[in-house]
Amino acid sequence: MPERPRILSVGTAHPPDRYTQDDILERFHTDSPAVKALYKASHIHARYLYLPEPGPDGRPHETMSELLHKHRQGALYMGERAIRRCLEPLGLGPRDVDYLVVTNSTAFMLPGLTAMFIRHFGFREDVHRTDVVGMGCNAGLNALNPVAGWAAANPGRNALMVCCEVNSALYIDDDSIGNAVVNSLFGDGCSAILVRADPGDAERLAPRILGFNSHIIPEAWAAMHYRWSEEHGRFGFILDRDVPYVLGTHAEFPVRRLLDAFGLKKRHIKHWIIHSGGKKVIDAIKYTVGITEHDVRHTVGCLRDYGNLGSGAFLFAYERLVREGTVRRGDYGVMMTMGPGTTIETALLRW
Amino acid sequence: MQELKTLRYTEEGQVARVELLRDTINMRMVRELTAVCDHLEDESEATIVVFTGAGDDFCRGIDFRDFRPDQPVDIHGFNKWEKACVRIERLPKVTVAAMQGEVRGGGLQLALVCDVRIASPDAVFQLPEVKSGFLPGMATFRLAKYVGLGRAKRLIMQCPEFDAHKAVALGLIDEVAYDLDEGVQAAIDNFLPVHPVVVQLARRLLNESYATDFENAIGNFLAAQHRAVTQTAFLETLKRARQEDGGGD
């Protein structure tokens, strides 16, 4: 059997400025009691964001081109740090990377973030690259699947996956509760992992990626989507209030299929690395997959400290798990991300 | 399932019986309880599990012969026991402890993780650990929820022995059954029909209720309720209600 690819390193980054939910409410002079209540009930303490100065009316006024500029600058700032923090512990630099994959859903760019990162960070000109765009919060695992496949097919070579989202470059500010839900939830963040299939890494306490299982719910395709707003001349994000329940109904299926494929039971899984989608989503996963508050401690912790970071969020939780030092050789872990489609993606790891 | 030496496992219809063949708990019994949980979770169609003692006593606590006074005590053994207890506490089945004779230490801890506790009039109860210089496991966590903090302190720190009627008065057990088999059968009948997923969710929310603030509890409840109402049991209830209504609005 060929060597399985391993996740050898993880690095994360966020914008320099941190805002509590109260800071944001104050900054933009939010008076609506309903919106304030929403922010307070989010189970988010703080987020790192690129926020504009309020206009004369106390509200943010960023043009579409300003948002795109912010997106680009934010992606460069965070991308450089996350990539460096991922590669440096391995003694690697951008020139050592053979395959670069970047996930992003917060702006449409052409050329995409891979090209921008290569230009700015010194990757080789013969680096393979793939941009995974428009897949939302689940994209990290949609991208990890081909990354792991590429790594397995190219033993000893370095695949770098970067999940980079500047959520503060995509918002509509009005008095609607729907937009307030979105604006109270998402944060900016970028995470990177290095994946390699190399027998020489066998001594490292680094998880092998054993397999994936996906689940899409086509009838819930509109539960999360970008919608063009004529009024504001930009995209806004629609997040249906039933999302937690749709995910809850289906979450057990991919997990069961993933574990069945390896003859495992839920009790064999020591570590759950789950996307910090929101408090209700985490609750739904807890009670349908049947896992404990302890199992979701890093998912909940990342939601509290960063908000929902989109595609890179689960790697922030992964980084906390690794740093916690509780992982032992032989432990199994399940990664789980969910997002638009509506879709649930899972991966099985073994340390 | 592996060969069992400390337990006898039988299954008849919806009811699985786990008889404790030893009157004290040793590490082998802990391992076998875990194996029984594996079987119950993975293969068994039973919806109700009855824990009972095979001899005159339900269980007199841990077997000190497992320990060697000249060697350091292995704390991991205690951890394995607690893990087995949690497995039983979270089984997707209704669990019944049917107790006779002595119910001490680990025996009483085992009863506390079951959903209902029934004892014959001759049963005597005690958590003797503290006077023997150690702790009565996670009874330190669970007991107060059944009997209140003040009584739990007395039961754990003074180690009194008390009878089945006293145990009912304390809220520690649910019922004294003059015929234990009949009492168990009545308890089983009271639980039917068992919807395993819903039972598991209800029990989890109840167990979490002492450690969760309302804001978190309501979120947990809604997630659990959503799971419950998407199960067949609730859909059947809706269908029946409609039929009884004659299908009208």
* A65-95: pLDDT as tens digits: 999 999 999 999 999 999 999 999 999 999 9
Give, as one character, the DSSP assignment of residue A186.
Answer: B
Residues ≥6 apart with Cβ < 8 Å to A307: A42, A44, A46, A47, A185, A186, A187, A276
Q: Quick one: pLDDT at residue A342? A: 94
Angle between helix B232-244 and B196-208 (nearest 10): 110
Can you tell me which residue has the tokens 């337990």? B7
pLDDT more than 90, % of chain B: 85
Contacts of B200 in chain A (CB under 8 A): 290
Residue B222 and residue A280: Cβ atoms within 8 Å? yes
CATH topology agreement for domains A6-201 and A208-350 = yes
Burial bucket for residue A110 (CB in 10 Å: 0-12, 13-18, 19+): exposed
- What residue spans define the domains of chain A? 6-201, 208-350
Q: Quick one: pLDDT at residue A276? A: 97
Give, as one character, the DSSP assignment of residue B63.
Answer: -
Q: Quick one: pLDDT at residue A69? A: 96
Total CB pairs under 8 A between chain A and B: 39
pLDDT bracket for residue A152 (50, 70, 90): very high
ipTM score of complex = 0.82
Strands B7-12 and A224-229: unpaired
Whether domain A6-201 has CATH 3.30.300.30: no
Minimum Cα–Cα distance from A264: chain B residue: B42
Q: For A188-241, give the DSSP string.
A: -EEEEEEEE--GGGTTS---EEEEEEEEE-GGGTTSEEEEEETTTTEEEEEE-T
Q: Quick one: pLDDT at residue B212? A: 87
pLDDT bracket for residue A319 (50, 70, 90): very high
Residue B226 and residue A245: Cβ atoms within 8 Å? yes
Tokens representing B190? Answer: 């009271």
Tokens representing A245? Answer: 């329940």
Give the CA angle between residues A242, A244, A250 to the nearest 5°.
Answer: 105
Q: Does B201 touch chain A (CB under 8 A)?
A: yes
Q: Does B26 touch chain A (CB under 8 A)?
A: no
Tokens representing A277? Answer: 């989608």
Tokens representing A226? Answer: 């970008």
Residue ranges of domains in chain B, CATH in brackets? 7-191 (3.90.226.10), 196-244 (no CATH)
Q: Which stretches does DSSP call E strand in chain A? A: 6-13, 18-20, 46-48, 99-104, 128-133, 159-165, 189-196, 208-216, 224-229, 234-239, 269-274, 332-339, 343-350
Q: Does B99 touch chain A (CB under 8 A)?
A: no
Q: How far apart are CA B100 and CA B199, in angstroms?
A: 26
Lowest-confidence segment of A181-185, B106-110, B159-163 by average pLDDT: A181-185
Q: Give the CATH H-level superfamily of domain A208-350.
A: Thiolase/Chalcone synthase (3.40.47.10)
B76 to B27, B82, B172: CA distances (angstroms): 11, 10, 28
Q: Does A45 touch chain B (CB under 8 A)?
A: no
Tabulate helix, strand, coil % of chain A (nearest 5).
40, 25, 35
Q: Does B199 touch chain A (CB under 8 A)?
A: no
Contacts of B215 in chain A (CB under 8 A): 41
* A33-61: pLDDT as tens digits: 999 999 988 899 999 999 999 888 888 88
Residue B223 and residue A265: Cβ atoms within 8 Å? no
275-314 in chain A: CB under 8 A from chain B: 279-280, 283-284, 286-288, 290, 293
For B219, which of A249, A265, A283 is closest by C-beta distance?
A283
Cα–chain-centroid distance for residue B57?
17
Q: Quick one: pLDDT at residue A124? A: 97
pLDDT higher than threshold 90 for residue B66:
no
Give the residue from B115, B112, B120 showing the smallest Cα distance to B164.
Answer: B120
For B227, which of A41, A248, A265 is closest by C-beta distance?
A248
Minimum Cα–Cα distance from A290: chain B residue: B201
Q: Element (H or E) spanning A180, and its range?
A: helix A177-183
- The Cβ-side half-sphere exposure at B56, using a 13 Å CA radius, reads 2
- 3-state SS string over B14-28? CEEEEEECCCCECHH
Q: How far apart are CA A163 and CA A106, in angstroms?
A: 11
Strands A99-104 and A159-165: parallel
Can you tell me which residue has the tokens 């969760």? B212
Residues ≥6 apart with Cβ < 8 Å to A26: none
For B220, which of A245, A249, A287 is closest by C-beta distance?
A287
Tokens representing A126? Answer: 């013969």
pLDDT higher than threshold 60 for residue B249:
no
CA distance A282 to chain B (A): 9
Provide the 10 A C-beta neighbour count for residue A160: 29
B17 to B14, B176, B199: CA distances (angstroms): 10, 20, 19
Q: How far apart are CA B90 and CA A267, in angstroms?
A: 12
Q: Element (H or E) spanning B146, and its range?
A: helix B139-147
pLDDT higher than threshold 60 for residue B247:
no
Strands B175-176 and B116-119: parallel
pLDDT higher than threshold 90 for residue A155:
yes
pLDDT higher than threshold 80 for residue A102:
yes
Q: How far apart are CA A37 and CA A109, in angstroms?
A: 35
Contacts of A284 in chain B (CB under 8 A): 223, 226-227
* B95-153: pLDDT as tens digits: 999 999 999 999 999 999 999 999 999 999 999 999 999 999 999 999 999 999 999 99
Q: How far apart are CA A256 and CA A303, in angstroms?
A: 25
* A201-241: pLDDT as tens digits: 999 999 999 999 999 999 999 999 999 999 988 999 999 98
pLDDT more than 90, % of chain A: 84
CA distance B163 to chain A (A): 36
CA distance B133 to chain A (A): 31
pLDDT bracket for residue A249 (50, 70, 90): confident
Q: Quick one: pLDDT at residue A309? A: 97
CA distance A273 to chain B (A): 19
Mean local confidence (pLDDT), B17-36: 96
Phi, psi of A258, rounded to the nearest 5 degrees:
-60, -45
* B168-217: pLDDT as tens digits: 999 999 999 999 999 999 999 999 999 999 999 999 999 999 888 898 89
Maximum Cα–Cα distance across chain A? 65
Q: How far apart are CA B16 and CA B37, in angstroms?
A: 11
Q: How far apart are CA A349 and CA A322, in angstroms?
A: 13
Contacts of B208 in chain A (CB under 8 A): 293
Q: Does B158 touch chain A (CB under 8 A)?
A: no
Signed CA dihedral, A147, A148, A150, A154: sign only: positive
* A283-300: pLDDT as tens digits: 999 999 999 999 999 999
A328 to A195, A271, A292, A324: CA distances (angstroms): 19, 10, 20, 11
Signed CA dihedral, B211, B214, B218, B223: sign only: negative
pLDDT higher than threshold 70 for residue B8:
yes
